[in-house]
Amino acid sequence: MTISNLEFISLMLPVLVFSFSMSITPGPNNVMLTASGANFGFRRSIPHMLGITFGVMVLMSAVALGLGILFETWPVMMVVLKVVGSTYLIWLAWKIYHSPAPKLNKEGQSKPLTFFQAAAFQFVNPKAWMMAISALASFTLSGDAFLVSVVLVIVAMAIVNLPSIALWASFGVLLGRILKTPIHWSYFNRVMGGLTASCVVMILI
């Protein structure tokens, strides 16, 4: 089943705007990418970025297949998700807070998030769930065009998401060039750890 040009335009424009607003605004993923860009550089943060985008695509596919209905049927599952996601975020915040300066990182004391770790995190990231459920509930078409519209929404989200989150990693790289001493790095990582932990407040509200 295909969709008309008018349907395509009316679908894609709001999807792209929504995807950009959700991807570019502060959140757990972007805060962690800023810290990763500063501590490990852009290249070593690429698996982290790709993992986020891939994880979001898989999550949206799962929601489209009916996983999102579970939250409507059993609202307590959203509470469980928030608790699990918040616990994991606090652990990540602790790691960022205690991260050494990059020279020590090269000795293997700290490593950036891997592709699979970043992808898996999306399944305990309430913001990613809200983004997936909202996008699919708001922008998919009914009837025979449903499957096509789901694919278009997921692809549009991926196309917008990757360059948007890459900006945060790039911002981190720029910050990393400003930080000259171990004391600077200590303050920076403590601030980023605090910001990561503060995302828990946004999750629990």
3-state SS record for 147-159: HHHHHHHHHHHHH
Tell me how far CA of residue 109 lies from CA of 49, 112, 121, 156, 173, in angstroms: 21, 11, 22, 37, 19
Q: For position 109, what pLDDT does the model report?
A: 57
Q: Is the pTM higher than 0.85?
A: no
Which tens digits make up the pLDDT trace of 94-103?
888 887 777 6
pLDDT in tens, 18-37: 889 889 988 889 999 999 99
**Rounded-to-integer distance, Cα 152 and Cα 12, Å:** 8
In this model, does residue 3 exceed pLDDT 70?
no
The letter for the amino acid at 36 is: S
In Å, how far from its chain's centre is CA 34? 12
Question: What is the per-residue pLDDT for 88?
Answer: 79
User: d(Cα 137, Cα 139) in Å, to the nearest integer?
Assistant: 6
Q: How many residues comprise the chain?
A: 205
